[in-house]
Structure 1
Amino acid sequence: MEDPRTLSIGRLSKDTGTNIETIRYYERVGLLPRPARSEGGYRLYRIDHLKRLSFIRRGRALGFSIDEVRTLLRLADERRRPCAEVRVVAEAHLKDVRAKIADLEAMERVLKSTVARCAKGTGSHCPMIEALYREAPSLGT
């Protein structure tokens, strides 16, 4: 008889909105502890798996890398909850996010300008295609 306190991989997937293969991947890379198995070999997840997977998903949704999530999980697992160390990881990630935003804004400027020139293009002359054939414009990177 199945323990009502356990979840199948399908149920864990549904409850967290996580693809089954992604759950297996997180197990393989050590982010999610391997669950117990039923007599039939099925994975039996507990509520702590669900909580940890939710943590991983929120971290990934914020753009943290697998290694950054691993670090955050390690810090979360420590009893003393070292907020200063978590802040260092988050600040480094925030710096990366800001750099990506700057890159995206530069891309937007280039595309906006090129699209505006496209509106003036005629016949076989297309400023966008010509811009793509030219040396790539500096995007501030």
Structure 2
Amino acid sequence: MNIGEASARTGVSQRMIRHYEKIGLIPAPARRGSGYRNYAHADIARLRFIANARDLGFAIEEIGELLELWGNDHRASAEVKALALAKAEELGRKAKALSDMRESLLHLAEGCAGDARPDCPIIARMAGEV
């Protein structure tokens, strides 16, 4: 199948498919006589794996590790679990940081009159005046 079909079947944009090929996350597909890429079912499975891993927050380097584990019939599930738990911990830290930022913004907005006057605690905070 061509890149458009591969994109439609996996939900991965054509641009990202080309990028994944360029960085080695997916092997270069066979080419048709016309020069167009010809994706096999194994390529589609790999792209779906990558898309699912991205949806879970894994970075490109981590996805590379996961792909190696996926292709290793002798892998220890403990390795996969360790990667998942480390990612969950990282996401927890990021979620806390985002929550803290949200609370700060809400607090600043609460202190802002939001009227025609120029004084604004939000601007003052960003300027380092508060």
Asked whether the two chains share a fold, i.e. TM above 0.5, the reply is yes
In 1, Cα distance between equivalents of 2:114 and 2:50: 48
Contact 1:8 1:43 in 2 (8 A): yes
Q: Give me the identity figure in percent.
A: 37
The aligned residue for residue 70 of structure 1 is 64
- Give the whole-Å Cα distance in 2 for the aligned partners of 1:103 and 1:135: 22
Please name the residue that 1:54 is paired with: 48
TM-score where L is the length of structure 2: 0.93
Q: Which amino acid aligns with 1:25?
A: H
Give aligned pairs, total.
130
Contact 1:121 1:127 in 2 (8 A): no
SS in 2 for 1:118: coil
Aligned equivalents of 1:113, 1:58: Cα separation in 2: 36
For residue 61 of structure 1, report the CA deviation from its aligned partner.
Answer: 1.1
Distance 1:122 1:30 in 2: 55
Q: How far apart, in 1, do the equivalents of 2:73 and 2:99 lie?
A: 41
Gapped runs of 5+ residues in structure 1?
1-6, 137-141
| Partner SS, residue 111 of structure 2 | helix
Residue from 5, 27, 42 that aligns with 2:36: 42
Alignment partner of 1:131 out of 116, 125, 129: 125
TM-score when scaled to structure 1?
0.86
Which amino acid is the alignment partner of residue 35 of structure 2? G
Consecutive unaligned residues of structure 2, counting only runs of 5 or more, are none
RMSD: 1.6
Superposed CA offset, 1:51-90 (max 9, x none):
1100100101111000000000100100124210001111
Aligned pair partner of 1:96 in 90, 106, 122 = 90
2:8 maps to 1:9 = no
Whole-Å Cα distance in 2 between the matches of residues 8 and 36 of structure 1?
10
Name the SS for the 1:102 alignment partner.
Answer: helix
Q: 2:81 is matched by which residue type in structure 1?
A: R
Contact between 2:30 and 2:38, CA under 8 Å: does it hold in 1? yes
